[in-house]
Amino acid sequence: MRVERILAPNQSIYTGPGTNTYLIESVDEALILDPGPVIRSHMEAVLLAVADLTPVGVVATHNHPDHAPLANLLGKELNVPVYGYERGFEFIPDIRIGDGEPIPVGMTELVAVHTPGHTPDHLCFQMDTVLFTGDHIMEGSTVVMEDASAYLDSLYRVRDLGVEHIEPGHGAAMDEAGRVIDQYIEHRLARESQIVEAVRSGASTVDDIIDVVYAEVPEALRPAAAHQLKVQLDKLVGDGLVVLGKEGIRPS
């Protein structure tokens, strides 16, 4: 079994060095994971990498535009099925795959682990002691969430898988997976505590809280911080720790 990382040239403040496309090879068969955006040079690089192999499928961890749009083009070019949790932005899976379902390649398989939070459709994929994490865990960065409660639950879930290595959707591979996941959990819980403390200290608007909790965030990332904060506030309201009302945000 061999894993090759092919970096898509779509670097940005949100994607870091670019999207990691993975070529997973076993017994001359190959599976392509997270083909990325439609960039001609990247498609050519992926096709070159599988030229001497038998491709068996294209898989997307989730349907964001930096991960999935090239999937259908590659599937058509290689005459293989496209796998994903559900259809989305420029992405229509031939085979919808859910939690616990395997995708075979050669003598091994990728097993889907449903990890909602970043998006509702997000899947990680486990192969033995390796976990391909898409945007659930990224090297060198925290993750923008759509559902903070679901995201934290998904972190606990992947921690319990007992994997040893993480291959993320952005950034470099990470060893000591358990330690990395624990750090992610600790960061999320610490951020919640910071938000609650800011509110108890008098911060009553999103901008007020950002000024306290996200003071180090560059101005260009302030909209992302505001989105993240609103998602976390939804969780804290559900947990009974803060209240959102006409008078602003206040402690419960």
Domain identity same for 65 and 140: yes
Domain identity same for 47 and 97: yes
- Among 143, 175, 207, which residue terminates a domain? 175
Domain identity same for 24 and 60: yes
Q: How confident is the model over 47-56, as pLDDT tens digits? A: 999 999 999 9
Domain identity same for 157 and 75: yes
The percentage of residues in the chain with a pLDDT greater than 70, rounded to a whole number, is 100
Domain identity same for 166 and 211: no
- Among 140, 175, 210, which residue terminates a domain? 175
Q: Which of 100, 90, 101, 45 is nearest to 67 (CA)?
A: 90
Q: Which of 240, 226, 227 is nearest to 196 (CA)?
A: 240
Supply the CATH number for residue 19's domain: 3.60.15.10
Task: Give the separation between CA 108 and CA 103, rounded to whole angstroms.
Answer: 9
Domain identity same for 47 and 160: yes
Locate tokens 């795959």: which residue? 97
The domain of 6 spans 2-175
Domain identity same for 134 and 203: no
- Please give the model's pTM, rounded to 2 decimal places: 0.95
Domain identity same for 93 and 39: yes
Q: Name, in order, each residue with C-beta under 8 angstroms of 19's C-beta and a sequence gap of 6 or more.
A: 7, 8, 10, 34, 36, 37, 66, 67, 169, 170
What band does 187 get if pLDDT is binned at 50, 70 and 90?
Answer: very high
The percentage of residues in the chain with a pLDDT greater than 90, rounded to a whole number, is 92
What band does 89 get if pLDDT is binned at 50, 70 and 90?
Answer: confident
Task: Give the pLDDT of residue 159.
Answer: 97
In Å, how far from its chain's centre is CA 225? 17
Q: Confirm whether 24 is domain-assigned.
A: yes
Task: Give the separation between CA 113 and CA 80, rounded to whole angstroms.
Answer: 22
Task: Give the pLDDT of residue 124.
Answer: 98
Domain identity same for 170 and 241: no
Domain identity same for 139 and 204: no
Residue 130, H or E segment = strand 130-134
Q: For the chain, what is the domain count?
A: 2
Domain identity same for 131 and 245: no
Task: Give the pLDDT of residue 72.
Answer: 98
Task: Give the pLDDT of residue 69.
Answer: 97
Domain identity same for 132 and 217: no
Q: Of 54-58, 142-146, 166-170, 177-181, which gets the smallest average pLDDT? A: 142-146
